Chain A
């Protein structure tokens, strides 16, 4: 299975380990990951807030690039997958908007017709690959380490557009944790936002929201957090370093593919583990050892 990786803006610069771990894990599971070149920002949050058609055009161009390659898009950022899916839905239902976007795309020989799908990483892991295949690929199972799942708002909401999991009670990340021998830990506020999008307007409020989640996860007894969005991963890590947090025990935050990798026998170097701001060895060293 071939998939076109749309990296977005933030992952390649701020969290390249997520990109590397995702490519390594997917290739291990039989997905051929090809980079989608010559892209632009999906338009999330900022252009999205200013002009509906400019937003639709930015995502529309990315979709059209994938259409030219005749392959589905793999998105690993919640904002990117949300924008691409929202705009695909918009352009598939509003012919006038689609014509307007296409008039701009025609200048570079591109066309949007709605042929390719946008798949968030969680859909690829749970549906295109499947839990059975992942379980069978485990060579060094975890010893029951307790992991809390953070899904990311735009990964699962709105369901009518994104079609990922159950937005009220998502389980894909939890099932992935358990597929490789971990123990999924539930906690209050699991589907709440990480606070990341608030960083632009009010950093204190963003941090309060993020730390509330960290507190809930810690109280539930988790040893680590797994994420499925670059912004969430960075936000839940960063809030643990802010003012007044020095006496806190830091809890490692890992993109889901970085957590899966060691259990599948992938080398740490391929997963970018040493780049994590909070050392994740307390988590990843728990695979391949007895309980």
Chain B
């Protein structure tokens, strides 16, 4: 936010914001979106941006501030964040792009924009209670026994069934009925 001083009083002359930025602001994690001054330290600190031209966190934040809702929600960009929080550690304005992208993902997920790998992983977790039930074979059980570890992992899948009903199926039903 740019400010000027008039007769000793600080007055805001420009607050870059948009309806979409206000929407993001209301979602857990998105609160600080309008504090961004677009300095770019997030992109400069980002290992993903350093490894590929396809990802630019500052530009994503800019698009949210500018209100490019559909472009942001349908893009893979927010899902490319590693959530490593290096940008958050360095941001001098207290903005966490990692948190903002999680908020954007939450909104995108509500509207059905979810990359396939995320969809599949969530489906697995909500069915089995954990990620690697199918990967856990006799071979690994033997490894564990050889190491003196308990081969029985005691993972619970009943609780996630409740979460699926409460937080995921309800949403799906709402989507299908168009509400």
Contact = CB atoms under 8 A, between A and B. Distances in A.
Interface of A: 7, 9-10, 12-14, 16-17, 19-20, 23, 35, 37-41, 43, 45-54, 57-58, 61, 104, 107-108, 153-154, 157-158, 167-168, 191-193, 195, 197-198, 200-202, 205, 208-209, 212, 270, 272, 275
Contacts of B162: 104, 107
B86 interface: yes
Contact of B131 (A10, A20, A35, A154): A10
A13 B132 contact: yes
Contact of B51 (A16, A200, A209): A209
Interface in B121-179: 121-122, 125-126, 129-132, 135-136, 140, 143-144, 147-150, 153-160, 162-163, 166-168
B168 A51 contact: yes
A275 B143 contact: yes
Interface residues of B, number: 57
B106 A16 contact: no
Q: Please give me the 10 A-B residue pairs with the lowest Cβ-Cβ distance, nearest first.
A: A193-B84, A9-B131, A153-B84, A46-B121, A20-B147, A157-B85, A37-B154, A208-B51, A54-B167, A40-B129
Interface stretch (B1-9, B12-20, B109-117): B109-117
A20 B148 CA distance: 8
B71 interface: no
A50 B125 contact: no
A42 to B, nearest CB: 9
Interface of B: 28-29, 47-48, 50-52, 54, 76, 79-80, 82-86, 88-89, 96, 102, 105-106, 109, 114-115, 117-118, 121-122, 125-126, 129-132, 135-136, 140, 143-144, 147-150, 153-160, 162-163, 166-168
Contact of A157 (B84, B125, B158): B84
A198 B48 contact: yes
The DSSP consensus for interface residues of chain A is helix
B50 to A, nearest CB: 8
23 contacts: A9-B130, A16-B143, A16-B144, A16-B147, A19-B147, A40-B129, A40-B159, A46-B122, A49-B79, A49-B105, A50-B122, A51-B106, A52-B28, A52-B29, A54-B167, A57-B163, A58-B160, A153-B83, A158-B85, A192-B84, A201-B80, A202-B52, A208-B51
